[in-house]
Structure 1
Amino acid sequence: MKDLCGTKVRKDDARYYALYMSDLAHQDPNKDMQARWEKLKNLTKIWNDMSVVEEFERGLLHPQLARELYTLPSEVLLVRAAKKMVLLKEARVRAQKMDDELLKSMKDLESTRAELQRRAIVDYKELVGFKEGLKRMGRVTYEYGYRVALACFRSLHPDSEVEEDPFTIRPEDDSVPMERQQAFDDSDPPES
């Protein structure tokens, strides 16, 4: 590793630091590690303890940033920080726009669902079968209501007679052969 890097760390060299992994000797597994990880020992299995995992990740993610702080000029760092701030602001604006679009899409979906249900009802009411069914229901309701009213009238006034409508279709009329639809002749009568 020393030959690969080709650098030596001196006490008066404040601009560049390197960690030589080859200098690490065999460690005692129960000895505390000398890093910013207070809870970690050499034998610690970090995947078993969540608090240790968080501490390890914090320590693991910062060395790149620390190296750049010590090796790059401050102008470069300021430019990078400004660039990151601009990118962060743009990302927040894009996220806000996406949230607005999502909210608008959800409102459109809800209004479309409501309109679809309304339209389905209107289309169903336009069907011929539905209209005929309503007519039949009206006739049945009218006939039933008429029969109930007639029965009530006859129970209250047994001596009275009710004149029946001659155009009412009755079950006994079904045996008479006759077409339901008669052609209407509206021509002038012959002169005599």
Structure 2
Amino acid sequence: MKVLTRKHKFRVGEGESHSRSKGKELAASSEEPEAPAGSEEGGASPVHDRLRSMGGPEAIAEAEERASGVREELEKIKGEKAEELLRREASEKELQAVRGHLGDAQQLLKEARTRARRMDDELLQAVKDLESTRAELPGQAIARYKGSLCFKEGLKRMGRVTYEYGYRVALARFRARYPNADVEEDMFTIHPEDDLAPMERQQDFDDSVPPEP
């Protein structure tokens, strides 16, 4: 309880009036209501004092309701900010993952391009080798054919035909010169009994005169 006091100059003849006025002030101060707890004088905040002076409990209730709404709005904003932060972090993680995949894809693309260039070089070399083989193939085929047994047998047959033709020409000339001479007409006639005679399949040609029996 705060007691208000006043200072007065004491004058002669004013003692009685001063005592009466002091008694009134003490009575007035004793009749003042006690300040509620929480104020500056008794504990209440200045806001409550102002609201109480403006409208009493209804104004306080309305202000508290508004404050509650503001707090809810702030909590909502905080939640939205937190969600936005989480979404941003997730987006950054996805972006980092995409960048990692992009780096891998670029590396794979680089390797694929390298393989493609190498394959192009190999294909070009294969085409060159094919063209060279085509150019060399006829000569190689002829060389292989000349080295084959079939070609050699053909040469022998050709030599035999040539020899037989020369023999017949010489025989015709001999008969023209010696019409009465007895000469075997076709010494190249194949007789069945000749198959019984042993003979090597491959024999060197020998046109020398055989010894007399």
TM score, norm. by length of structure 1: 0.37
More helix by share: 2
